[in-house]
Amino acid sequence: MAITFDHVNYMYQPNSPFEAVGLSDVSFTVPSESFTAIIGHTGSGKSTLVQHLNGLLKPTSGTVTVDDFQLTAKTTNKHLKSLHQHVGMVFQFPENQLFDQTVERDIAFGPLNFGFTNEEAMSLAHQAAHDVGLPDELLNRSPFELSGGQMRRVAIAGVLASQPRVLVLDEPTAGLDPRGRAEMMAMFAKLKADQQLTVILVTHQMDDVADYADQALVMAHSNLIKAGTPAEIFANPEWVKAQQLALPTAANFAQHLVTRGFEFDSLPLTAEQLAIQLRGQLPKEGR
Partner 1 sequence: MLEQLTLGRYIPGHSWLHRLDPRAKLVLACYFIVIAFLTTNWLTYVLMFAFIGGVIFLTGLSFSYFVRGIGPLIWLIVFTAILQLLFTPGGHIYWHWGILMITSTGIQTSTAVFLRFLLIITMATVLTLTTAPLAIADGVEALLRPLRVIHFPVAQTALMLSVALRFVPTLLDEAQTIMNAQRARGVEFNNGGLIKRLRAIVPLLIPLFVGAIGRADDLATAMESRGYQGATNRTRYRVLKWHNADTIAVVVILVLNVVLVVLRHM
Q: Does 47 bind Mg ion (CB under 5 A)?
A: yes
List the one residue from 16, 17, 18, 263 that touches ligand ADP (CB under 6 A): 18
List the one residue from 7, 13, 133, 175 that touches partner 1 (CB under 8 A): 13
Q: Are 56 and 50 in contact (CB under 8 A)?
A: no
Q: Which residues pair with 26 in a beta bridge?
A: 8
Binding mask 149-188 for partner 1 (x = CB under 8 A): ---------xx--x--------------------------
Task: Determine what percent of the chain falls in helix, strand and coil, rounding each to the nearest 5.
Answer: 40, 20, 35
List the one residue from 38, 89, 200, 251 that touches partner 1 (CB under 8 A): 89
Active site residue 171: yes
Question: For residue 276, what are the CA distances in angstroms to 106, 173, 260, 261, 285?
Answer: 46, 29, 18, 17, 18
Element (H, E) at 89: strand 87-90
Q: Which is nearer to ligand ADP, 18 or 260 (CB)?
A: 18
Cβ burial of 173 (10 Å; 0-12, 13-18, 19+) is: buried
Minimal distance in Å, beta carbon 273 to partner 1? 36
CA 221 to centroid of chain Cα atoms: 19
Q: Total binding residues for ligand ADP by CB under 6 A?
A: 13
Nearest by Cα to 198 from 34, 45, 61: 34
- Residue with the shortest CB distance to Mg ion: 47
CA 16 to centroid of chain Cα atoms: 31
Q: Are 164 and 86 in contact (CB under 8 A)?
A: yes
Within 13 Å and on the Cβ side, how many CA atoms surround 285? 1
Of 119, 145, 171, 263, which residue is the catalytic one? 171
Q: Which is nearer to ligand ADP, 18 or 284 (CB)?
A: 18
Site stretch for Mg ion (CB under 5 A), options 44-52, 115-123, 148-156, 248-256 = 44-52
List the one residue from 5, 10, 69, 109 that touches partner 1 (CB under 8 A): 109
- Residue with the shortest CB distance to ligand ADP: 47
Q: Does 144 bind partner 1 (CB under 8 A)?
A: yes
∠150-154-157 over CA atoms, to 5°? 135
Q: Does 40 bind ligand ADP (CB under 6 A)?
A: yes
Residues that bind ligand ADP (CB under 6 A): 12-13, 18, 20, 22, 40, 42-48
Q: Which residues are catalytic?
A: 171
Residues that bind partner 1 (CB under 8 A): 12-13, 15-18, 51, 54, 56, 77-78, 81, 84-85, 88-89, 91, 94, 96-100, 109-110, 112-114, 144, 158-159, 162
